[in-house]
Amino acid sequence: MSGKKNRPSAPPTQFNITARILHWLMAAMILAMIFVGLGMMTSLTWRPWLLDLHVPLGIAILLLVIIRFINRLSFPVPKMPVSMSKFQSKAAGTLHWLFYGMMLALPLTGWAQLSAGGFPVKLFPGVNLSPILPQSPLLYALLHDAHRVMAWALFFMVVGHFSAALLHAWVYRDGIFSSITWGRKMTIRSEEPPASAAE
Amino acid sequence: MKKEALVTYLRTKRVPLILCGILLIAGTLVLAFAWSAGLIGGRITTRTFLKDTPKTYPAGYRRAHGKGICFEGTFRASGEAVPYSIASVFAQQKVPVIGRFSLGSPDPYAPDNSTRTASMALMLTADDGEQWRMKLNNEPFFATRDAEGFLKQMEAYKPNPSTGSPDPARVTAFLKEYPEAKKYVKWDATAPWTRSFAGAQYNVINSFILIDKNGKKQAIRWSMRPHAAFTSWSVSQRKQASHDFLFEDLKKRIQKGPLYWDLVITLAEPGDAVNDPSQVWPESRRQIVAGTLEVSHVFDQADGGCRDVNFDPTRVPKGITLSDDPVLRARAGIYAHSHSDRVREIGYGKATDAVVKHQNDNPKNK
């Protein structure tokens, strides 16, 4: 990090490899988690099995989002294309931070909810996490509702985010989508000559 | 110029198509979400089982078995189950227990002579932190082979508003679809009602699996077999019984000294119906006494203690796992809804009676 400060480097056109891997890994995990959660609350057959999956997967997301957050703060990220309006860039930026908040809050409210409800937080058979809250009906009530409302909100955020991403990938083709993928870089950045990318 | 115009034309065509594609993807995701949440498709979910929850009782009570009493006790393992399971409760000298005796009626104010169903719920917490939650009934088996059958049974036996009794045609149709329920109907009509919580045997009904230190599996069921003698009553005795007879009897007995039950585990043999709680295993199956439960103290459920505990029988410690019994698996979700509904009522302060200690000031309890 400190070494980079010496270079008057242009912002990258892509997120770093850690960010890209974590993005797609966590996208799959989060989408799976939302459906595991819904299944847990409805299925006549699969709840015990889904619950055994939900807790360790949630803890894994919690650990990964911390790594991702540190990575996000430590390395430069691509700039929004100039074709985007100020408002659009601001909204997109805010939404990205809201995603971080959700990814952190959902595992924490899940863990706290189990604690407040007096349930074991079973990671694996015989391995339980310590409760992070005392047993309390009020805390349980608040956390249970918060967890559900946030999970629903996160789902619609994911759908919105994914739709917008596809719009950028297929319609605008402004390099936003390719900044998080491994595909061909579609840099339609007229003001930046491609030669500057040479290292 | 012409070429450019064509490209522009294709571009304008392309965009609506892409937008349709994106909408289709987003729409599919939303539909999958709605179906999974049980919002569309009309499939039976664990929520369906609570749709008939009476709205007439004050908030905060359990959705089923509303009338109950908490207890504290100790489980002392005999060591006999140790060869079959690595669960520490089977090896530990003294395991603290919190539990609940309850009446089968959903009504928290039900008179004690209104149902034959008496239940015991337990939560054992071993020194290693592993919990064993269980829910046992004095019925020897479940009426139907699956959980959907329970819904259909409720539906079929719902009293017709005009006659006040169940519609015989619906009962016949139900028994045709679930012939195993005839066994339950016969048992219900003939078996004696228990006159005391203390002398009743409580059965887990569902099947579980024990896992030994080599990973070997053994299908089991278990019962809590009372040390006190079973007592019943004649129909006229029962009809004249006081409103809280069973609970008063329990309190009186506990005042004299602790009550005991043996945890009797029945070991299945190949071919036994592990996945069907309506089928009883042969009497000749080997049984082991895994330990003894001592119930030493009872207290009002409104005080807390067992009040906020979800006695979800699928919460088992390491060394015990679930069988493929469909009724057992369905209970997990149904209990979860019942628990979160009532604890939220308590948490948000909507509960009145269910949490406040009442010194016989409730006219319905007299």
Relative to beta strand A127-129, strand B68-77 is unpaired
Note whether residue A112 is domain-resident.
yes
Using an 8 Å CB-CB cutoff, list chain A residues near B25. Answer: 162-163, 166
Q: Which residues of A touch B320 (CB under 8 A)?
A: none
Give domain status of residue A1, yes or no: no
Q: What percentage of residues in chain A have a pLDDT greater than 70?
A: 87
Percent of chain A that is helix, strand, coil (3-state, to 5): 65, 5, 30
Q: Quickly list DSSP for B7-65.
A: HHHHHHHHHHHHHHHHHHHHHHHHHHHHHHTTSSS----GGGGGTT--SSSPTTS-SSS
Q: How confident is the model at residue B196 (pLDDT cuts 50, 70, 90)?
A: very high
Asked if residue A110 is part of any domain, the answer here is yes
Q: Percent of chain B scored above 70 by pLDDT? A: 96
User: Residue B104: inside a domain, yes or no?
Assistant: yes
Helices (H), B37-146: none
- Tens-place pLDDT, residues A47-58: 999 999 999 999
Whether residue A142 lies within 8 A of chain B, CB to CB, comes out as: yes
Q: What is the CATH number of the domain that holds B232?
A: 2.40.180.10
Distance CA A169, CA A60 (A): 29
Residue A175 belongs to a domain:
yes
Q: What is the pLDDT of residue B1?
A: 55
Mean pLDDT (whole number) for B116-121 = 97
* Calpha distance A142→B251 (Å, rounded): 36
Q: Which of A2-16, B163-177, B226-240 shows the lowest per-residue confidence on average (mean pLDDT)?
A: A2-16
Q: What is the four-CA torsion angle of B275, B81, B97, A134, rounded to 10 degrees?
A: -80
Residue A9, pLDDT score: 64
- Pairs from A1-9 (Cβ < 8 Å, separation ≥ 24): A1/A74, A1/A75, A4/A76, A9/A76
Asked whether residue B174 is assigned to any structural domain, the reply reads no
pLDDT at A196 over 70: no
- Which residue bears the tokens 């071919």? B271
What is the separation, in whole angstroms, between the first and last Cα of chain B?
95
In Å, how far are A83, A173, A183, B3, B176 from A190, measured between CA atoms? 11, 13, 20, 23, 76
Does residue B154 fall inside a structural domain?
no
Measure the CA–CA gap between B361 and A77, rounded to whole angstroms: 68
What is the count of structural domains for chain B? Answer: 1
**Half-sphere exposure of residue B148, counting CA atoms within 13 Å on the CB side?**
9
| A159 vs B30, B308, B315: nearest CB | B30
**What b/e string do you get for B111-150 counting C-beta neighbours within 10 Å, with b at 16 or more?**
bbbebbbbbbbbbbbbeeebbbbbbbbbbebbbbbbbbbb
pLDDT in tens, B43-74: 999 999 988 777 777 888 888 899 999 999 99
Q: Strand B95-103 relative to strand A121-124: parallel, antiparallel, unpaired?
A: unpaired
Which of B10, B22, B24 is best to mutate for the A interface (most A CBs within 10 A)? B22
CATH assignment of the domain containing A142: 1.20.950
| CB contact set of B112 (below 8 Å; sequence gap of 6+) | B103, B241, B242, B243, B244, B245, B246, B247
Ranking B25-34, B53-62, B310-319 by mean pLDDT, the lowest is B53-62
Instruction: Give the CA radius of gyration of chain B.
Output: 25
Whole-number pLDDT of residue B355: 84
Q: Based on the structure, what is the number of domains in chain A? A: 1
Residue B107 resides in a domain: yes
* Residue A199 confidence (pLDDT): 35
In a domain, A197, yes or no: no
Domain-embedded: residue B250: yes
β-pair partners for B297? B72
Q: Which residues contact residue B28 at a Cβ distance below 8 angstroms, ignoring those fewer than 6 apart?
A: none
Chain A residues touching residue B33 (CB < 8 angstroms):
34-35, 38, 155
pLDDT value of residue B53: 77
| Three-state DSSP state, B290 | strand
Closest C-alpha among A72, A97, A55 to residue A19: A72
The whole domain housing B298 covers 46-145+180-352
Question: What residues contact B331, with CB distance under 8 A and at least 6 apart?
Answer: B135, B147, B206, B312, B313, B314
B308 part of a folded domain: yes
Closest by CA to B225, choosing from B281, B264, B280, is: B264
Contact B131 A145 (CB under 8 A): no
Question: Does residue B358 register a pLDDT over 50?
Answer: no
| Stated length of chain B | 366
Beta-carbon separation of A119 and B315 below 8 A: yes
Asked if B19 lies within 8 A of A39 by C-beta distance, the reply is no
Q: Report the pLDDT value the prediction gives residue B310, as an integer from 0 to 100.
A: 96
Residue B228's CB is within 10 A of a number of other CB atoms, namely 14
Q: Alpha carbon B308 to chain centroid distance?
A: 15
Domain of A34, in residue numbers: 12-192
Q: Which two tokens stand for residue B331?
A: 């209970």
Q: B333 and A43 in contact by Cβ < 8 A?
A: yes
Neighbours of B108 (CB within 10 A): 23
Which neighbouring-strand residues pair with B136?
B120
Show the tokens assigned to B86: 């690595």
Pick from A30, A33, A36, A42 the residue to mutate for testing the B interface (most B CBs within 10 Å).
A42
Residue B271, domain member (yes or no)? yes
Residue B34 lies in a domain: no
d(CA B9, CA B285): 80
B143: pLDDT strictly greater than 80: yes
Burial of B58 (0-12, 13-18, 19+ CB in 10 A): middle
Catalytic residue annotation of B: 65
pLDDT in tens, A60-83: 999 999 999 999 999 998 888 888
List the single residue in B19, B23, B33 with the smallest CB-CB distance to A38.
B33
